[in-house]
Amino acid sequence: MNRDFVEVQVDDFMKITVEALPHQEIETVLSTIGGGGAKGVAFKQEMLKIAGWTGNKLTSFAKDPESAAEAFNKVRLALAKTDNPDDIRIALQA
């Protein structure tokens, strides 16, 4: 199942809303694709790192929102094409 997400904006990382923001939806999907639980979180972190996020799991995306938005939008484009973990990895490495 391919997914289309709204483009992640830099100011999304400073918002507090009831509805999930695009980057939060992407995080949830990555964790699910990665197998859920700790394995899913590790997969999500790996994909964001490959996409260009330089922070670690304790770094707030708001610390470097430009880099975070860029990484999430790369992931967003990969998820629009595939749900396969290996294909996502390949797309992000290209």
> In this structure, is residue 74 part of a structural domain?
yes
> In this structure, is residue 6 part of a structural domain?
no
pLDDT of residue 2: 60
**Model confidence band, residue 3 (pLDDT cutoffs 50, 70, 90):** confident
> In this structure, is residue 32 part of a structural domain?
yes
As for how many domains the chain has, the answer is 1
> In this structure, is residue 3 part of a structural domain?
no
- Condensed to tens digits (0 to 9), the pLDDT of residues 5-46 reads 999 999 999 999 999 999 999 999 999 999 999 999 999 999
C-alpha to C-alpha distances, 20 to 6, 12, 30, 60, 93, nearest whole angstrom = 11, 10, 15, 17, 27
Nearest to 43 by CA among 58, 57, 56, 33: 33
> In this structure, is residue 4 part of a structural domain?
no
C-alpha to C-alpha distances, 56 to 12, 18, 49, nearest whole angstrom = 19, 26, 8
- Residue 58 lies in domain: 13-93
